[in-house]
Structure 1
Amino acid sequence: MFRAVSAGRPGHSGERAPLVAQPPARQGFVPRVLGRGLVVALALQPAIAAVQEPDCRLVRVGGHTRSMRSVFASGPATYRHYASGGVDYRCSDGTRVLADSAIVYESDNQVQLYGSVVFQDPETELRADSAFYFSNLRRLHAWSNVQVTDRISDAVIEGDFLTYDQASEFRALDLIMVEGGEPHATFFVAPTAPAPPEEPPEADSGQVVAEPPEADSGQVEAEPPEADSGQAPAGEEADAEPADTLPPVPWEVDADRFQLEGRRYFRAFGQVEIRRDSLTAFGDSLRYDQEVGEMVVTGGARFEGQAYTLVGVSVSVTPAGPRSEVVLARENARLSGEQMEMAAPAIRLFVDGGNVDRIVALPDVPPQPGGDDEIDTSGLSPGDAERLRALSRTQEEETETEPPEDSLPRPVVLARDFQLSGDSIAVFSPDQRLDSVVSVGDARAQGVGQDTLRGADLPEALRQDWLTGDRIVARFGRGESGDTTGRLETLTATGNARSFYRVFPEDTAEVGTDRRPALHLVSGAEITIHLEGQEVVGMDVDGETEGWHFDPLPAAPDSLASDTMRTNPDSMVPPDTVRPPDTLRVSGPPPHRATTSAVPAGSGTRAWVRRPKAPVPKRRFPATLA
């Protein structure tokens, strides 16, 4: 295991020169995150080829060298070699090892390095105050001010203690652990490769092809930027540095313990905190899969960005560019921001330069990437590892059942003026301003902050104003100067659109008046509601339209006689009390209502049907927005 190599030092006893560790050939993967040379440098390793080992020599000893021979009653003699004053080992593969002093124990194949220990090769550098290497166990320990640097990617891991187990017949991948002394890691996550362009579907494939939006379809189209918005017009490039030349921003990670497994996995455990630009994340553990290109935080995962907080059972980050990423919260996802709140089984954020441009609420939880490779098989033989994977697959097949349709909550968005739900919801917020919210699949919008006590005798389903359709688009306008929150302007429902709202008497402040509302229900191919503040000011209905208007029936003369709780009207309401306006109150007669003579209140239901001159074209909408 050890080979005597003369250092050519004058005055040496000549009995035995300081020895250089010559461990066996290494098998398995080479760490990719910290570079190939870490394996070689840490233990004066041979080259990757098993048949050819590098020639490592002690080329310089700056001070004293000494060898000691120990003889025991049983067994062969053992040798212990000392070198001090600065030692310099160099190998033919470019590896270099420096230390203030070194001790080599031949009996147990151990090398001890003390003081300013440095391992270097073309890819990796490791520094520590002390290091021990056990070649028979293929293990290295380094402690006190440990720092590992990947010269290629500039990744750095710092801690107080390092354990490195090399790959062997019982361990498929190298395993490096760093802990103690407030461990910290700085690394760069490479963006994932862009997906190949999609090919157009065949003529008979049955796939629905997106058609260009019609003038009245309600689909959100990009508008040209304003003159002072700073956004480059379409077809022109902004005077900014090209995306591929922007320097990457590193991820800073603090945790109780770091783990590197082979060339693929980087993990962190215990009180994990991640920082990058304006993004901060917290969780119990972190896993980065270099091949998949996704970093996942689990255990009370929480991501905090500019004016938003995203939580979930797990939250993953997939880089899409030097300063952009896709953030996905899985299971019971919640998003809280200044302008809206969102809840869904899963929520995906598209972040560019720290700003959220688009948010998508998903009806299902996307599966975790990786599959069998995500199973921890460290320390197992290849046979045991394969049996563990087979057992995991069997358990998944036994427990895999289709969840009931109502087992997952529907995505929902709650804004200042309304609540919107659907099978899938997308929020568009360019330049950090809420622009539009689109709900697809059994979409429903209803007002919030309404006075539900007015008309409390109505069925519960009729105490809120609502709008439904296959697809609903909510558009927001700019608020007043200095107001960054969006102001709801229109709600447009398309596909089986229906609208219900209550019409209260004009004079609601007069005491003693009948406050029961009239009910108004409209259905059509497309319905657009116009709002100012929180008040409905108009409605447009397209296509074949049907509407119903229900006036409240007058109360019976003796209906209040038996009311033992009746009080004097002015004993409960001060003269200067003003009722707050109804948030969805409609001014004027119902929209598109046929012109008829006045009908006394309480006469019942009035209905009308308006059919368009030309047939309404059928529209197809996607099932989800993911």
Structure 2
Amino acid sequence: MTLAGGNRITYVGTPHMLCRDGVEIWADSSISYAETGLDHLIGNIRFLDDAGELRADEARYFSEQGRLQASGNVFVQDTLDGFTIENGNLVYLRPTDFRDEAEITVSIADDRFRPRAILKMKADDSGQPGTESDEIVRTLEEDSVDIPYTVVGDRIFLRGTNYFRSVGDVTIERDSLLAFADSAEYDEVSGRIHLAGSAKVEVPNYNLAGKTIDMVLDGNSFKTIAAHGEAILVGDDLTITSPEIQLYMNEGLLDRLVAFTHTNEGVRTVEPLVPQPVAVGEDFQLTADSLDISVPKEVME
């Protein structure tokens, strides 16, 4: 169909399209608008290429902007980078001359099913000085099994393969670890997962909470977990409250914990500006400027 002004609209039933870049597209129907470069796909949509597939009930693709919008039973599986996304309304921005990396944003939809992403997070070992490439490979092979993380939030944003951010009552699950926060951010270059707002980490033998929590990765394992601001650690036989609590891990288990208070240099007061660390056990209570406790394999010495 050609409208006044030469704008052409093309209707196709049950299209099966093979694009020049190797992408195959199926749908119940499609409407193409030549003037705007918009392809509107409706019903049982499937995009398939060498990297994976996308399925949805409805999609709009703006070719000039490299922008794909999908909604309704959204499912994305990237077999190259190893992530999966389910639910929500999705916006995909493909790499272009003006965009170096792909970006994906998925937000909670009208059906109120929250977006869910299954992805891998690890530290970037490529920049470690003096580390030979074969040593890096061996370290990664000996590291913990490459168990993915499951992230659920009201909104999830991914850029390339090394950055994500989620906001809105975020939960993260990996094996026996559960984490909660108002927002979560991961950056492979810094090797850190940052939890902000009512942050909490739960593992079988203890829980750690604070205003924010930073989990530093060493390959696929955690190197340190630090709670900042009104931190509290609750274990089977011990509870610690402190402005700051830092956990040092060894082979996935807690090996040492340090609780401390940041002091203001040059300021003298009769009373401390912030609370001191306090450890409470079954038959004792200990208050100090700092606590340094060894717990090899999570057994207190």
Alignment TM-score > 0.5, same fold: yes
Distance 1:167 1:85, change over 3 A: closer
The Cα shift of 1:171 comes to 7.8
Q: Distance in 1 between matches of 2:68 and 2:169?
A: 26
Residue 407, structure 1, aligned to residue 273, structure 2: yes
Distance 1:124 1:293, change over 3 A: farther
Residues 306-338 of structure 1: per-residue CA shift (max 9 Å, x gap): 231211111122222445442111122111112
Question: What amino acid is aligned across from residue 363 of structure 1 in structure 2?
Answer: T
Distance 1:253 1:119, change over 3 A: same
Q: What aligned pairs does 1:416-495 form with structure 2 within 5 A after superposition?
A: 416-435=282-301
Could you state the TM-score of these two structures normalised by the residue count of structure 1?
0.41
**Matched residue, 2:226:** 328
Question: What amino acid is aligned across from residue 17 of structure 2 in structure 1?
Answer: D
Q: Distance in 1 between matches of 2:78 and 2:96?
A: 23
**Matched residue, 1:188:** 120
Alpha carbons 1:305, 1:354 under 8 Å: kept: no
Q: Distance in 2 between matches of 1:403 and 1:253?
A: 44
Q: Distance in 2 between matches of 1:102 and 1:434?
A: 65
- The unaligned stretches of length 5 or more in structure 2 are 131-139
Alpha carbons 2:29, 2:42 under 8 Å: kept: yes
Q: Secondary structure at the match of 2:211?
A: strand
**Matched residue, 1:112:** 40
Q: Secondary structure at the match of 1:78?
A: coil
**Matched residue, 1:360:** 258
Alpha carbons 2:123, 2:188 under 8 Å: kept: no
Alpha carbons 2:143, 2:219 under 8 Å: kept: no
| Among 1, 8, 16, the residue aligned to 1:87 | 16
Q: Distance in 2 between matches of 1:260 and 1:337?
A: 34
Distance 1:245 1:344, change over 3 A: closer
Residues 537-593 of structure 1: per-residue CA shift (max 9 Å, x gap): xxxxxxxxxxxxxxxxxxxxxxxxxxxxxxxxxxxxxxxxxxxxxxxxxxxxxxxxx
**Matched residue, 2:215:** 317
The Cα shift of 1:266 comes to 0.7
Distance 1:404 1:153, change over 3 A: farther
Alpha carbons 1:278, 1:354 under 8 Å: kept: no
Q: Distance in 1 between matches of 2:27 and 2:224?
A: 45
The Cα shift of 1:144 comes to 1.0
Residue 302, structure 1, aligned to residue 231, structure 2: no
Q: What aligned pairs does 1:257-272 form with structure 2 within 5 A after superposition?
A: 257-262=155-160, 264-272=162-170
Alpha carbons 2:123, 2:192 under 8 Å: kept: no
Q: What aligned pairs does 1:100-179 form with structure 2 within 5 A after superposition?
A: 100-165=28-93, 175-179=103-107
The Cα shift of 1:305 comes to 1.4
Please, what is the CA RMSD of the aligned residues?
Answer: 3.1
Q: Distance in 2 between matches of 1:410 and 1:245?
A: 37
The Cα shift of 1:244 comes to 1.4
- The unaligned stretches of length 5 or more in structure 1 are 1-67, 198-241, 366-400, 436-626
Alpha carbons 1:87, 1:102 under 8 Å: kept: no
Could you state the TM-score of these two structures normalised by the residue count of structure 2?
0.80
The Cα shift of 1:138 comes to 4.6
The Cα shift of 1:176 comes to 2.6
Question: What amino acid is aligned across from residue 187 of structure 1 in structure 2?
Answer: L
Distance 1:265 1:195, change over 3 A: closer
The Cα shift of 1:135 comes to 3.5
Q: Distance in 2 between matches of 1:196 and 1:345?
A: 34
Distance 1:78 1:119, change over 3 A: same
Q: Distance in 1 between matches of 2:285 and 2:266?
A: 26
Distance 1:186 1:325, change over 3 A: farther
Alpha carbons 1:248, 1:323 under 8 Å: kept: no
Q: Distance in 1 between matches of 2:161 and 2:124?
A: 17
RCO comparison, higher one (Cα < 8 Å, 6+):
2
Q: Distance in 2 between matches of 1:99 and 1:130?
A: 9
Q: Distance in 1 between matches of 2:23 and 2:223?
A: 37
Residues 503-524 of structure 1: per-residue CA shift (max 9 Å, x gap): xxxxxxxxxxxxxxxxxxxxxx
Q: Distance in 2 between matches of 1:136 and 1:192?
A: 34
More strand by share: 2
Alpha carbons 2:58, 2:72 under 8 Å: kept: yes
Q: Distance in 2 between matches of 1:113 and 1:338?
A: 55
The Cα shift of 1:112 comes to 1.2
Q: Percent identical across equivalent pairs?
A: 33
The Cα shift of 1:124 comes to 4.0
**Matched residue, 2:136:** none
Residues 179-225 of structure 1: per-residue CA shift (max 9 Å, x gap): 2222111111113539668xxxxxxxxxxxxxxxxxxxxxxxxxxxx
Query: Segments of 4+ in structure 1 off by > 6 A?
Result: 167-173
Task: Give the number of equivalent residue pairs.
Answer: 284
Which structure: larger Rg?
A: 1
Distance 1:404 1:145, change over 3 A: farther
| Among 191, 196, 201, the residue aligned to 1:293 | 191
Q: Secondary structure at the match of 1:431?
A: helix
